[in-house]
Amino acid sequence: MKTLYILDASGFIYRSYFAIRNVTNSKGESTNALFGFIRSIMKLRKDFNPDHLIAIFDGPRSTKKREDIYADYKAHRNAMPQDLGYQIGWAQEVCELMGIPYLSVPEVEADDTMGSVALWAAAQKAKVYMCTSDKDLCQMVNDQINILNTFKDNLILGPKEVEENFGVPPHLMIDLLAMTGDSSDNVPGIPGIGPKTAASLLKEFGTLDYLLNNPQSLPGKKQELFVQHADQARLSKQLVTIHTDVDFPKESSFFEIKPCDTKLLKEFYASMNFNSLIKELEQSTPPAAKEVQLQLFPDEPVKYTLVDDEDSLKELINYLSKHKEIAITVKGNEECQPVKCEMIGIGFSVKAKEAWYVPVNGRLGLQAVLKALKPLFEQPDLQFIGHNAKFDILLLENYGIKLQNIAFDISLASYLLNSHLRQHTLEHLMLDNFGKVKMPLSTLIGKGKKLLPLAEVPIAQVCSYVSEEADYTIRLKDILEKQLNERKLMPLLKDLEIPLFKVLAKMERHGIFVDVSYLKKMSVEIIKQLELLEHSIHEMAGEKFNINSPKQLSDILFTKMGIRAPKKTATGLSTNADVLESLKDNYPIAGKILEYRTLEKLRSTYLDALPGEVYGKTHRIHCTFNQTVAATGRLSCQEPNLQNIPIRSEIGRTIRGAFKPQREHWSFLAADYSQIELRLLAHMSEDPILLEAFQNGADIHAHTAANIFNIPLASVTKEQRNGAKAVNFGIIYGQQAFGLAQELGIDVREAAVFIEAYFRRYPNVKEYLESRKELARKTGKAVTYTGRERLIPEIHSRNGQLRAFAERLAINTPLQGTAADLIKMAMLQIDKKLDPKGSLGYMILQIHDELIFEIPDTAIETMRTLVQDTMQSVMSLKVPLVVDITIGKNWAQC
């Protein structure tokens, strides 16, 4: 054994637990500490490739020996979080599966076991690296034993580095630690003696024992401190001294890394939803191990056929036409928006393990392939299956092909079944359902500077890649269809989501016009404002600095200007928006910085970026609408995200002024559901006071304020209405007193009284909200009015924060999810009523509760009535649905 790496497993786990938040498996169990621990091991093995490695955990009742000396040792620490204990057990299981030896000695802390192992290994002439960030272990450092801090770019501390960092050599670290104490372990030390003072005293006088035995050598107050706290210092020395007499196996073979149990490790990762780790495991398995893996997870024989001649294509089309269901994947040359994409080929499959690939850049050529396939795609009695089929529809439309009948979409089916999960890609679904790691695209096109367009990759390789996608699309359809039927979610797929993506495809293809010259002029003006703000900030600071640098800004505010920092992070003193907001009333520079950041973000995100999103062929922006991102059922938008342009700020409204009809004598029409989620709350809770208010068309926020404060409606002040408004919307999101207090800038107790008064006046609302939480506890999910489900496994988490978060989801999902479905239903109905030729205009944007239309001026009154009536009648509720209509020559005017 030439080298031994000793891993502070307990330290790594605790660090990961607090550094990584809200990561759970499908059962809602926390996995954050476990994931960080595995990543730490993987990094260590990648960086150093050790042959001998030991992971050391605190043993059961690990603090007993030091508690026998000092009852208050670590006494002030909070109990171990309930969702951490079981993760430690999993970490030990992972060590076994990875072949990494570990130790957990009863009644012994990890530090003592690490020190004992290090001393023994050094005696065997091994070079030892103690992988830890714990300064206590610096006392063990010598020429053979080093500290390796993997959290600080693999910083290695030998004797020289220990002295440079702490001011004393390793053999005096015990004395330094005894003098300074340790608040985290409740080691008392000597009050008033910090690290620098301790180091200087030890340099001058040699040892702690000398100082305790000769306090008269010290000047003034220090003499008194060492006399008064001598016993405390001796006790502290006992507590910080590493015990090196721990019993453990003393054979070098015990510390050897054993072969990894790939099969069981993969299954373990799957149970924790660690899909990224499964992929890395597959890709990093050495050749010898891969042979074993192929036996454990044999790749089934598949028949993937390249179709690149006229006879083969005719034969394929004839064969496909005899099947009712055909899985397809239409591949573009680049990972780009389909409206802008060029096709390179199409994959087909009708049963598992069998697929075909038809390239358009092969011997047949584009036109011959399209001419042959067009009748197949446009055959109304054939049902096509896709994954993100909206992409396929749009890409085929680029070439004049109207895909008639998409009957099933894998990504949408996965989303409806597991909307609480973020990934619905084919890659993840193959892994989750078949344990199959999808062929990475990078194996075909490379990475970085060597990146190739897919069209330039040999067609035979592309055939394997695309055929695999088509093959697993048909396989997944059978699995997901069964699950949808079992959970009664098929109507949502067939009647809502699939019809909707056809509407969204129209919206994406039509796009929205933006006046680029308008944005450029606005950018010039914003740059001038930024320069003025920068000058003003520099004057307030008394020097020039980079305002965009958090470190430089932190130095200016909290060091030079002496402002008391309200928040500290792992990387230093925070200068985030919350911190600056809390400071701006007392320190004007904070307000200026917030203003600067807002302008700079709007400039870079919109003014300078949007012109680059304009497609040259249409002079319009063609954003992408996503149905599988927001867990509540809401649509999201990307490339660019037009849902995110701020409306409340003046500059946000000005940016919206750049969006306008492309043709003269056309306008924008905006239709916005008024207070839809509050109306749904009234309907679902059946609270009589809330129902009456909406039925009578009352100002709901003023009405709420009047009820809470028990005053006439006419007496409600603006402040009271704003407070009631915050409560009304906060209730929808499960907001508690702390959140309301922050929003209104009031005391938490005052906010609690506010909420309590609200529930007294609306008792049915409170009863309804509690019933949603209780239902989630019983069923593990939240359900919308339309039957959409969101699984909430965290509702039973032992982590209080996760559990509280889950309860908020249980409250919000039925409301926000129902509102999302309501506007989707309205979009479908309106689309049916619009003339395909555009005589009434086009639906172009959806921003949650709002729809934007581009319409000819001659159709304004017709569309006003059509849109408003349709949206207001799409769902029958106990309160009226109200839709506000505005007309404008640009988006800002709407």
Q: What is the dihedral of CA 688, 694, 698, 699, to 10 degrees?
A: 110
Give the chain's end-to-end CA distance (angstroms, integer): 74
What type of residue sits at position 24?
T
Residues 327 and 446 in one domain: yes
Place of tokens 């894998």: 410
For residues 699 and 728, is the Cβ–Cβ distance under 8 A?
no
The type of residue at 707 is N
Residues of the chain with pLDDT under 50: 286-298
Q: Is residue 435 part of a domain?
A: yes
Name the residue among 341, 432, 453, 467 with its Cα closest to residue 394: 341
Length of the chain: 894
- Strands 568-569 and 572-573, bridge-based pairing: antiparallel
Look at residue 284 in the predicted model and tell me its pLDDT. 64
CATH number for 770: 1.10.150.20
435 in the same domain as 310: yes
DSSP string covering 274-302: -HHHHHHHHHH--HHHHHHHHHHSPPPP-
pTM score: 0.82
| Spatial contact of 857 and 665, defined as CB atoms under 8 Å apart | yes
Strands 145-149 and 127-131: parallel
How confident is the model over 762-789, as pLDDT tens digits?
Answer: 999 999 999 999 999 999 999 999 999 9
Count of domains observed in the chain: 4
Query: Does 49 lie in the same domain as 26?
Result: yes
Residues 309 and 406 in one domain: yes
The CATH number given to whatever domain includes residue 504 is: 3.30.420.10
Q: Are 248 and 118 in contact (CB under 8 A)?
A: no
Non-local CB neighbours of 283 within 8 Å, separated by 6+ positions: 437, 440
How is 357-424 classified by DSSP, letter by letter?
EEESSSSS-HHHHHHHHHHHHT-TT-EEEESSHHHHHHHHHTTT-----EEEEHHHHHHHH-TTSS--
**Which whole-number Å values give the CA distances from 872 to 699, 841, 863, 880, in the listed order?**
19, 20, 14, 8
The range of the structural domain enclosing residue 365 comes to: 303-511
Same domain assignment for residues 104 and 124: yes
181 belongs to a structural domain: yes
What is the rounded CA–CA span in Å between residue 791 and residue 781? 4
Q: Are residues 169 and 239 in the same domain?
A: yes
- Cβ 885 vs Cβ 868: under 8 Å: yes
Tell me if 6 sits within 8 A of 131, measured CB to CB: yes
Structure tokens at 539: 């004057």
Cβ atoms of 772 and 850 closer than 8 Å: no
DSSP 745-780: T--HHHHHHHHHHHHHH-HHHHHHHHHHHHHHHHHS
As given in the structure block, the two tokens for residue 562 are: 């002496």
Phi, psi (rounded to 5 degrees) for 852: -115, 135
Which residues, 6+ apart, have CB-to-CB distance to 773 below 8 Å? Answer: 795, 807, 810, 811
Helix H or strand E encompassing 53: strand 53-56
Tokens linked to 37: 């621990």
Nearest 5°: the CA angle 637, 642, 645 is 130
Q: Can you list the positions of beta strands (E) in 682-804?
A: 781-783, 789-791
Q: Is the dihedral of CA 865, 867, 869, 870 positive or negative?
A: positive
Q: Residue 371: is it exposed, middle or buried by C-beta count within 10 angstroms (0-12/13-18/19+)?
A: exposed
Contact 384, 328 (CB under 8 A): yes
Last residue within a domain, chosen from 450, 483, 511: 511
Neighbours of 689 (CB within 10 A): 15
Give me the residues paired with residue 131 across strands. 7, 148
Residues 344 and 381 in one domain: yes
DSSP secondary structure letter of residue 673: E
- Rounded to whole angstroms, the Cα distance separating 697 from 727 reads 19
* Cβ neighbours around 265 below 10 Å, total: 21
Using CA atoms, how far apart are residues 854 and 573, in angstroms rounded to an integer?
48
Q: Which residues contact 813 (CB under 8 A, 6 or more apart)?
A: 631, 632, 782, 783, 784, 790, 792
Looking at 511, 535, 563, which one is the last position of a domain?
Answer: 511
3-state secondary structure of 850: strand
DSSP code for 603? I
In-domain check, residue 629 = no
Closest CA to 433 of 388, 391, 483: 483
State which of 767, 795, 818 marks the end of a domain.
818
Angle made by CA atoms 204, 209, 210, in degrees to the nearest 5: 45
Looking at the domain assignment, is residue 656 inside a domain?
no
Q: Distance between CA atoms of 715 and 704, rounded to whole angstroms?
A: 12
Residue type, 15: R
How far is the C-alpha of 183 from the C-alpha of 77, rounded, in Å?
10
**What pLDDT does 503 receive?**
97
For residue 698, the number of C-alpha atoms closer than 13 Å in the C-beta half-sphere is 21
Same domain, 231 and 116: yes
Kindly state the tokens that stand for 534. Answer: 């920068």
| Tokens matching residue 816 | 């926000």
Amino acid letter for position 94: V
CB pairs under 8 A, 24+ apart, for 427-430? 428/275, 429/472, 429/476, 430/472, 430/476
Asked whether residue 469 is assigned to any structural domain, the reply reads yes
Residue 640: cis peptide before it, omega within 30 degrees of 0: yes
Q: E strands along 560-665, which residues?
A: 568-569, 572-573, 614-615, 620-621, 624-626, 636-638
7, 3, 4, 5: which is closest to 133 by C-alpha?
7
DSSP 492: I
Domain shared by 74 and 211, yes or no: yes
Task: Please choose, from the candidates 648, 225, 282, 600, the residue with its C-alpha nearest in 3D space to the C-alpha of residue 431.
Answer: 282
Q: Evaluate whether residue 532 is within a structural domain.
A: no
Cβ atoms 178, 189 nearer than 8 A: yes
The answer to whether residue 355 sits within a structural domain is yes
User: With contact defined as beta carbons under 8 Å apart, do 94 and 37 qualify?
Assistant: yes
Instruction: Give the per-residue pLDDT at 734.
Output: 81
Inter-axis angle of helices 459-486 and 410-417, nearest 10: 40
Please indicate, yes or no, whether residues 338 and 401 belong to a single structural domain of this protein.
yes
Distances (CA, A) of 449 to 12, 30, 40, 165, 333: 36, 39, 30, 41, 17
Burial class (CB in 10 A: 0-12, 13-18, 19+), 253: exposed
- Please say whether the beta carbons of 348 and 328 come within 8 A: yes
Query: What is the DSSP code (8-state) at residue 627?
Result: S
Q: How far apart are CA 425 and CA 333, in angstroms?
A: 19
Does residue 762 share a domain with residue 726?
Answer: yes
Q: Assess contact for 343 and 392: CB atoms under 8 A.
A: no
Two structure tokens written together for 407: 């009957």
Co-location of 366 and 433 in the same domain: yes
* pLDDT at residue 570 in the model: 52
Amino acid letter at 640? P
CB atoms within 10 A of CB 620: 18
